[in-house]
Structure 1
Amino acid sequence: MTPTLPGTRGARLWLAVAVLAALVLGALCAPWPVRLDGWTTGDAALAAEVRKLAAGQSRIGLAVAVLEDGELRQAGLGDTGTDAAVRPDTRFEIGSVTKMLTASLFADLVADGVVEPDDTVREVLPDRNWPKGGVGDATLAELASHRSGLPKVPLSAGTYFDGIGLNFLGLNPYADTTPADVLGTAATADRPTVGKYAYSNLGFALLGHVLAEKTGVRYPDLLRQRVLGQVGMDATAVPDGMSDVRGDVATGHDDTGRRMQPWLSSGDAPAGAGVWSDVGDLATFADQVMRGKAPGASAAEPRYRADGSQRIGYAWVTSSKKGGGKIVWHNGAAGGCMSFVGFDRETGRVVVVLSNTYVPVDDLGVRLLTGAGETGSSPNLLGTAVGLLLPPAAWLALLGAGLGGLRRKKRKAPNRARILAAGGEAVLMFAIALAVGSATVLNLAGWLAGAALCGTGAYLAVTRWRELPWTEPKRPALQWTGAVVSLTAGAAVATAMALTT
């Protein structure tokens, strides 16, 4: 018997109920964009300007500082994630903005003659085993300018699973990584792009620990002695644990408001994992770098070609402005927080933006710095495609199971095991859409459409359930295995994501 659309009034009513129920459930779980609430602290005029620029963006909280002509203006907007207003002195995880600090540490040690830019890793740490042709032959300047050839992150099965944990559960991908792990991993890593710009977190983590081992001082203590303490950055911390981060701390979230773990990591700290600061500290630091007053301020001088027309010094990126002139900047992302620090030597303006939502703030920072968004950031096409297409694909899985196949000529008699497996697959597809997709109106439409369509698939499966066999006659054990695996995986992922929300 080939299933058809419901033909009676009662059947159509139950179909409508199934679609409505699926739509309501989908709406409750949907990736709704978050919005800034009405809380504002600090400079009211600056806060109003930022709120206007951030209108329509997915944000929970923001802190902003503008330093110009010796006047520091600061503002906080929105929620820290703990039902408290963001203040100018709220600490955020700053991510790769830390690379600027590590770069200044390196440049300061160069200025004091402790190391030289052209020193190789092997020369700085001769007592370690550095395989020939590996990172031991990279210079410190290459590490500091992303030209060492090292990959962005270590390429391994562990890195792959760390990425899954981050995207699905908001977990810390750098947990338990130690300085020894970084040194050991870098020593054996391939370097396919030596001498060419290729952004590398691994390279900067290695640089920080090479400098620490050379001086005999732990990276957090060395950074405090050489840079943070000299600039007066008392709010900036490289903690061993969250209890070491003093004051008001913002909690990081993804763009749907799901909380993310902080990226505490002693190994990856020099590259930007597990470092906290506030907008005032970072504005003071950037201003002193711009004026050549900070230790290692020469790190910001452009030295090498980076992406496109951009140039890079030690970490700091120099980009052209519309109408002429340059800006010097860096951004960061870690633990559900985003950051931007930049300055314009011509105008003498410094801008810092910190956010506790995993959505880039580069454009906002550049607009405050120059009056126009100029970073050239592109939309997340993969996230948009996944979020838009996977939920409707979940409906196709359910529909195909209920019909015995989507292609009429190749349909087999449907069975219960296949329907159960399709249910697990549908849950996984929605979970992937939530983890990888973006919180946009387009993705929300795809999600709700997929949920409503799944209601029709569920209706078809339920109405045919009694007349269906449990499995096909051939290889029933294999069919049951597929059903159990799909259901278990779908339930496990959905439960884990719900518990980490």
Structure 2
Amino acid sequence: MRFRSLPDTRARAGWFAGAVVLALGAGVLSAPWPAHLGDSTTGDKALAAEVREATDGVERMGMSVALLENGRVRRAGLGDTGTGAAVTSRTPFEIGSVTKTLTASVFADMVEDGVVKPDDKVRDVLPDREWKRGSVGDVTLAELASQRSGLPVMPLVPKTFANLLTYPVFGVDIRSAADAEELIDSAATSPRPTPGEYAYSNLGFAFLGQVLAGKAGVPYTELLRERLLDPVGLQETTVPRSRVEIPAGAAEGHDGIGRHVQPWIGIGSAPAGAGVWSTADDMATYVDAVMRGTAPGSDATKPRYPAGESRIGYAWMTSAKKGGGSIVWHNGESGGCSTFVGFDRASERTVVVLSNTTADVDAVGVELLTGIDESDEERSASPLAAGIGLLFPPLAGAALLVAALGGVRPSRRREPSRARIVSAAGSGLFLFAVTYAGAAVGALSIAGWLVGSALVGAGVFVAAVRWRRLRWVDEKYRVFRWVDAAFWAVVGLVFAIGAAG
């Protein structure tokens, strides 16, 4: 049956406009607005003001900062922990890949004590295990510690891929359940496409920590405590084995739009930064001790190999700064937290920046450390993330409107079925959910979201007007239409609920 045009009446035009305006209002309320750094401030107010200025419009939920200069430590907390409590310099945060520097210190300390050598191969450090020729057993400890092992970023196992797909939407722990043995097995069976070349690998550093623990005959957490945390006095740095052991008062992680996400917990991956917590106070003590050479394994900071435009030692990066000189640093990202630690030996200045939002804090840390605004070099949103935000919502809204109309071209429109409209609505929900969770935070995403919302309003109006006289499914491909509608309805609802948190 050919599509009959909707009656062109003022009343209907008014209802149509009302539906679009209502949808736009809902879009404004539900749009992925950036996280907001609250007005709460603790500690050094002047430092807090510097931090707010350095954020350069990139919002975060809360931040804890420590700056050591001229022998004096300044501390400031900004925003809240995600529970309404004010952030302080003793608020625990996940430190993510900054943990790699801790593992590197343990390695360098064991080298200094003669327990292992940099050129020791894994198969020689753990001779009781079987290692295939050409496998990770032939990697040296120095290659692991300097990100030249050739191992992939993450373990190439089904659980990793499944979690990487669902984490942006559902905020689940992407490192879940990996223990030391599972981690070692993953590394042992992983390919090594570029051995000897710099290629950042979380798997490689987690493997290094577990190999060192195996050599010492104790769990990694005990090795870390014995070799580094206790000697430096880092009592607020912990590696919980489960979520119930997360330190009291810890900051809750958030994504770029302020949604709560799960912390990473996984003892196997802890040496690389999964589920390790610390405070700005503890990290300031640690980084200062490393800079002054009083911390065990401080030799890890010595630059040894090229790493892009920088040089890498054992985990620590050394980069040139504007105006001459260099800084030594590392950053981290974990379950909704971002971190930066660094020091400048020439000025004897150290900086720690901890945040409970995924937006990186590198530019903030570098500016506090050097006094130079390098925000123009901050990473921009990927074209993929920007494209998702700009295109997915309008596509979702347009698909619903076209389904309700029965086609794009008026001359070829046919009366739609309810199943087609349900399918379009479900797939639209899915696209909106992906946008909400995975798009770049910014003006393009908001614009795309609002355009898509307006189109949804138009589509819902047309579908509502025609609904009562529509059949459920077309006679042709009847079973397929039912399955298609049911599939997208379920997928859309599941992802929408997940994205909403």
Q: TM exceeds 0.5?
A: yes
1:248-397 superposed matches below 5 A: 248-307=249-308, 309-374=309-374, 376-381=377-382, 382-397=384-399
Candidates 459, 469, 472, aligned match of 1:470:
472
Q: CA offsets, 1:343-398, max 9 Å, x none?
A: 11111110110000111000010011112244833212222211111100101211
Amino acid at match of 1:301: K
Match of 1:36 in 2: 37
Label 1:420 to 1:60 Cα distance change in 2 as closer, same or farther (>3 A): same
Q: Contact conserved, 1:399 with 1:406, CA < 8 A, in 2? A: no
Match of 1:111 in 2: 112
| CA–CA distance in structure 1, aligned partners of residues 389 and 56 of structure 2 | 22
| CA–CA distance in structure 2, aligned partners of residues 282 and 37 of structure 1 | 23
* 2:217 maps to 1:216: yes
| CA–CA distance in structure 1, aligned partners of residues 17 and 237 of structure 2 | 56
Structure 1 position 4, deviation (Å): 4.6
Q: CA offsets, 1:222-274, max 9 Å, x none?
A: 10110111111111111113443444311111111110111011111000000
| CA–CA distance in structure 2, aligned partners of residues 412 and 2 of structure 1 | 5
Q: Contact conserved, 1:341 with 1:351, CA < 8 A, in 2? A: yes
Match of 2:19 in 1: 18
| CA–CA distance in structure 2, aligned partners of residues 317 and 6 of structure 1 | 68
Q: Contact conserved, 1:6 with 1:12, CA < 8 A, in 2? A: no
Q: CA offsets, 1:331-351, max 9 Å, x none?
A: 001110000001111111101
Match of 1:440 in 2: 442
Q: CA offsets, 1:447-494, max 9 Å, x none?
A: 122111211111122222233322222120111100000001111222
Quick check: 436-445 or 414-423, which moved more?
Answer: 436-445
Match of 2:138 in 1: 137
Structure 1 position 18, deviation (Å): 1.2
Q: Contact conserved, 1:40 with 1:76, CA < 8 A, in 2? A: yes
| CA–CA distance in structure 2, aligned partners of residues 219 and 408 of structure 1 | 68
Q: Contact conserved, 1:89 with 1:248, CA < 8 A, in 2? A: no
- Consecutive unaligned residues of structure 2, counting only runs of 5 or more, are none
| CA–CA distance in structure 1, aligned partners of residues 421 and 448 of structure 2 | 23
Label 1:134 to 1:468 Cα distance change in 2 as closer, same or farther (>3 A): same
Q: Contact conserved, 2:36 with 2:258, CA < 8 A, in 1? A: no
Amino acid at match of 2:424: A
Q: Secondary structure at the match of 2:358?
A: coil
Quick check: 280-289 or 370-379, which moved more?
Answer: 370-379
Give the CA RMSD over aligned residues. Answer: 1.5
Q: Secondary structure at the match of 1:96?
A: helix
Match of 1:492 in 2: 494
Candidates 447, 454, 470, aligned match of 1:452:
454
| CA–CA distance in structure 2, aligned partners of residues 60 and 158 of structure 1 | 30
Amino acid at match of 2:496: A
Amino acid at match of 1:238: V
Label 1:377 to 1:410 Cα distance change in 2 as closer, same or farther (>3 A): farther
Quick check: 367-376 or 146-155, which moved more?
Answer: 367-376
Amino acid at match of 1:441: A
Label 1:246 to 1:378 Cα distance change in 2 as closer, same or farther (>3 A): closer
Q: Secondary structure at the match of 2:332?
A: strand
Q: Secondary structure at the match of 1:267?
A: helix
Candidates 393, 397, 400, aligned match of 1:398:
400
Aligned-pair identity in percent equals 53
Structure 1 position 129, deviation (Å): 1.3
| CA–CA distance in structure 1, aligned partners of residues 393 and 81 of structure 2 | 31
Q: Secondary structure at the match of 2:117?
A: coil
Q: CA offsets, 1:75-120, max 9 Å, x none?
A: 0000111111001111100000000000000000000000000001
Q: Contact conserved, 1:81 with 1:251, CA < 8 A, in 2? A: yes
Quick check: 378-387 or 70-79, which moved more?
Answer: 378-387
Label 1:410 to 1:140 Cα distance change in 2 as closer, same or farther (>3 A): farther
Label 1:141 to 1:3 Cα distance change in 2 as closer, same or farther (>3 A): farther
Amino acid at match of 2:147: H
Structure 1 position 446, deviation (Å): 1.3
| CA–CA distance in structure 2, aligned partners of residues 245 and 287 of structure 1 | 26
Amino acid at match of 1:366: V
Label 1:405 to 1:342 Cα distance change in 2 as closer, same or farther (>3 A): same
Structure 1 position 136, deviation (Å): 0.4
Amino acid at match of 2:17: A
Match of 1:196 in 2: 197
| CA–CA distance in structure 2, aligned partners of residues 408 and 478 of structure 1 | 26
Q: CA offsets, 1:187-223, max 9 Å, x none?
A: 0100001111110000000000000010001101110
| CA–CA distance in structure 2, aligned partners of residues 60 and 6 of structure 1 | 50
